[in-house]
Structure formats: C-alpha cells, structure tokens
Structure 1
Amino acid sequence: MLTMSIELGISTFGETTPLEKTGHAISHDQRIRDLVDEIVLADKVGIDGFAIGEHHRKDFAVSAPEIVLAMAASKTKQIHLSSATTNLPTIDPIRVYEQYATMDAIAPGRIEIMAGRGSFTEAFDLFGYNLEDYDDLFKEKLDMLVKINQDEILDWPGGKFTPKVDHKGIYPRPNKPLPISLATGGNINSTIRAAEMGLPIVYATIGGKIDSFKPLTQLYRAVGEKTGHKDLPIAAHAWGWLNQDKDKAIRDYFYPTKLLVDAISKERDHWNGMTYEQYLEGVKDDGGIFAGDSDTVAQKIINMIETLGLSRFYLHIPVASMPHEDILNAIRIYGTEVVPKVKKHFQEKDEKKKLFSIKWKKK
C-alpha cells in the first residue's frame, strides 16, 4: 500500500560535459567537490536519498562512488546514500562489501549498495573482463555479495569468476545487513532475478512513456509473489530539472539532454540523436523527462508512483553538465517544494484509506 513513507531522492553520475554557455567542461576534481556540496544541501533541505553512479569515462567524474559517498557521509546527518550503480561484473564483491560496510560506520543505517551490470561497457576492457560474460559475471558476483551480506563467516564454493573462500570472516560488519537493491534499465532477466532473490529493484526509466515500465513492475510483483517474496519495494529514477520558471526549466534542460543522447547514440545502434520535438514529447505529462517548475514535476512524480506502484523515486539531476549554482537551485526547489507536495498527497491519500476502512468496519 502506498503511504507517506515514500522516499524521494536524487541520483547523478557527476557529469563533466561541456556547458552550454561556455562550451567548456568542468574539471573532474571540481565536479567532485561540487557534488559533495550538492549532497550536503540535499540533506539540509530534507531530501531522503542521494545516489551516485559508477563510470570510467571522460564525461562522468565519478569512477569510485564509494569515495564520494564517504565524504558526503561525514558531512551529512540524515540523508540515505547509495551507489547508482555499483557495476558488479568488473569489481570484487568482497571489496564492495568492505567499502560500504566501512561507510556504514560513518553513517549508520544510511548506506545502500545499488548493484547493476553497468549501462556502459568501458570497464570490461579496463579491468580485463570479457564482455561476452556480461550477464554471467553479474549473476555470480551478485550471489556472492548477497551471501557476504548475510554471513559474517563466508563459505563460498567459488565459480567461474570468483575464488573459493573457505570459512573466512569479512569485516567490518554493520549492526545489521546492508540494504542491497538491483538496478536495471528495464531488462526482463534482471527483473525476474531480483524478484526471485527478494531484492528491491530500481528501474532507470530513460525516455519513452511513464507507463511503458508497467509490464515490468507487474512481472516483478508476480514473480515475487510466486517465489514467496511479497510486497517487494520498487523504485525508479528519471531524468529531470527544476526552475521557478517552468518554461525556463524546459528550455535550459534541452541542451544537456540532447548532448548526452547524441553522444550515446554514437555508441549504441538502437539510439538516435534527439530533436527538440522528441524532447518535448518526453516533457509531456506522460513522458519520461521531468522538467518544469515544482507543481509540474511534483504531479509527474505522483503520477509515476501511482502508475508503477513505486515506494521511492529518484530525480536524476542533471543528465549532463549544468552550472553548479543552477543545480543547487534545482535541489532547493526539489527539497523545499516538490518533496513536501508529493508526500502530502500520499499522506492525505493514506488517511482517506484509513478513514474509509474504519467506516467500512463499523458497518
């Protein structure tokens, strides 16, 4: 049942693409420093979570999200901090657990591992992995990570991609198991795998229509029910931008969105460059781009939560580089206006359901 406990967060990749006004990209070190400031602000204005993705390419500054998250953990008080994602196929699950367990000591109960296969593939060559093993690597390492999270003393039989571990302790240990969720761009096999394992799922709803992910969320619930995992939490993240002026927000967000889409289109056969008309389709009420003022974005988030049955939503701010002061402004609007509006809607909805239930029982 949807309740006022819905989590509303921000996700980012620490982008370093050329800015529209200058034509120059911000340096990686400056973007990382700015990113920590943005997380601190998000914490102050009441945003529930902040998630940072892992990439190994020039246009994104963050290759080690756990380092940035650790810096933010020491400077924040309540915000939930997560990767988005940790690319398991090209990293050691034991090391992943140790890093995030260490962060949990700094921010107890606020650290999550959002595990994924990775939407970009540059890390395979970089770390000496075969791209043909893309899915098998993820499955084996995800199983190992979940096992490490469950058991202090690890007995692992080993596999094609992971070594045998014979009764060894993995430390440090948090007071309780770390939250682990599975992130996917909409892969059916990942949806089924998450449901069968009882893991929360996070969908990257990039482009298209909001309701296009409904068959996947329905499949996730159905498989979960069948395998004994009821009421599994579902999350989504979507590209978005905020400004006090709705039209300005829509205008300003086109350049970075097109910049990223066009760049990815050169790398992927099934992507095409973006036109302004296509962009405006995404900005419409049923589209997957959440750009506008607080009322517009809040209503779209409400619609998405209700359509897909989400328990949390992450707004991806920004999709490609935008001025730091504009990002801070968008975060303030999100935390002080959008988050309260969305939570108020579901709080009132929940109260009406409870009132109806009481009246029905009296009858």
Structure 2
Amino acid sequence: MSIYKVLGLMSGTSLDGLDIAYCHIWEEGEKWNFSIKNIAEIDYTDKMREYLKNAIHLSKEDHEQLHKDYGIWLGQQSKLFMDELGKEVDFIASHGHTSHHRPEDGVTFQLGDGQLLANTSGKQVVCDFRTKDVSLKGQGAPLVPIGDKLLFPEYDFCLNLGGISNISFEKGGERIAYDIGLANMPLNYITHKMGLAYDEDGKLARSGKLDHALLRKLNNLKYYSLPYPKSTGYEWFTSNIVPLIESSTVSNEDLLHTFIHHNCEQIAFAVLKHGDNGKSNSKLLATGGGALNQFFMDTLQDKLGKSVEVVVPNKTLIAYKEALVFALMGVLRLEGKTNVLKSVTGATSDSCSGEVFFPETI
C-alpha cells in the first residue's frame, strides 16, 4: 500500500486566501482513504486580492505577468509551509486561481504558473486541471465531484458552499454535479462594503428581513432554468448580481438575509428535485465557508425539511475539502487514472487531467 504525501493548494472565487492542506492519500482495496495532517490559510493582502479580483480586466501582457508572479508566490508559500512542516512531501497539487471561465467559448484559465511554482518550491507540481476538459467540450467544472465519489460515498449529496454553490450526487449509476448558483460571493461583497471580512455565524443576516421583490428577481435569473451540466463564476456574478445589490435601497442586513434565503431556496430545489436517491432519509454533506454560517445552515435545513439531513463536519474538512480533493486529483493524474468525469462536466469523454512540472535547476 503506497501512501502519497501531497500538498493541496486551493484559491476559490470568494478570494479569502490560499488554503494549503498536507494530506496523506492511499488506496486500500477498492477504497480511497485520506488524512488531513496539517493545514494553513494564507490571507491575501488587499493588494493581492484586488490584483486577482481584477485579473479578468487585465491586458494580455499584464495577465501573463500576474500568472508568473502568482506562480512564484504559490511556490514561496508552499516552501515556507514545508520548511515549517519538516515532513516529507511527494508533490504539490495546485488548483490555482481562476481568472477566466467561459467554457461555452472554450476558455478557462487558472493563474499560477506551474513551472515557476515547481522551481520556487523545489517540488514536482500537478496543476491546470480544467483546460483538458474544456478542450473536450466540457464545462471544466465542477471538479470536486471525483473526490465526493471516491472519498465520501456514504453521503447522498455533497454540497460545497464557496463563492458559488455546487452539488454532486449519484444518479442512474453516474456522478452528476453542477454549479447551483450563488453562495458566499454576494454575502462577502455586501460585508466588504460594511468594512467586515464576513458575517460571523450569519448574525447580521439573521437580524435582517426578507426583501420579496429582490428575492423574485434573483429566483427568476435565467441561469437557474438552464439544464445541467452547467457552471458559473465571477463574470456571471458581476454582470447579473452586483447591479441588483448596488440598485437596492434596503439595509445591508436585509440584503444578507434575502441572499441567504435565495441561496437556500435554489439549493433545496436542486436537492429535492432529485428525490431521496432511493432512501427514506437522505444525508447531505455541507462544506466550504458557507457551512460555517449558522444562519445559512439553519435556513437550508428549514427549506429541505425532514427528508434530508444536513451534516456539517469538523471545521478542518469544511474549510479544506477542496484542497484535499485537488491533492487526490494530483494522485490520480500521476497514476494515470480518471480524475474528471464527463457525466459531471458534459465533456465527450472522461479524462486524466492536469499538467505536470518538475523543478528546473538553473
């Protein structure tokens, strides 16, 4: 039995910072197992956050420079973490940070130059997990469902609440997954306007009132009526959601309250539409930053009713599940096994995705 010792790196659309998870991953019989040994969250400086947030608007030359700069920064943070860790690391699996995602145009780009990351960290790197799937006519997202399937088979639904919400589940012998829509992006946008990093436990949202007119506008957005496979991202948020927030005349607390109700209505609709998967009581695993928001979780359980139990795991798994899954995807890539599912992305075939880089000595 071979145990892979991997650093998983993840930066999500919510722009909270870089998540690093040192994971042991191994296959025993037909079952993949994991242990998250050490973790770190590296906060972005205000300058870095703005740089990444505005990457979509950069010129080609400036975007390429950011790609290089961010790759070096990822390598520096990885090396600092490994030096402090003092333990053996086989390789680094990096998601990067998504700057462009328009799969309908054949475009997706994850910042963080893999060669410079490898050179700076001194470790082999696996990265760029989305491009191959998009070249196969897939959405290039979501990618985490392979981890849901292999690491968390005991749950009927796996829900991730990062900047956006996505879900995965088994149906007809296949893994199905797609981006439902919003999660933390509008909440963080509103709290940042208030000078806060986030709404702790959803206390501000809980104190607000429902804006029925805004709720109707949100629920009527075209994206929700599109069939899966589908994925969304920052472009959709800025063009469709930000104008609604900026034109609103209600309090920030009411906005937070309304967005959580909207998020939970769309999530509940997605879950209940697919029934109980043959069980009288279904279990839904909730991870990502939204799972730390108690008002979000209470509202979601209320919308789902008694037929679906919302399970919130320990805080490490809540915050670092995506970094763990990218570590697993790196392992699968090096073993030559499928790590992106066509049933999830709509691609013409499953794929073993990811580019591999070795440190260059200069």
TM-score (norm: length of structure 1): 0.31
TM-score (norm: length of structure 2): 0.31
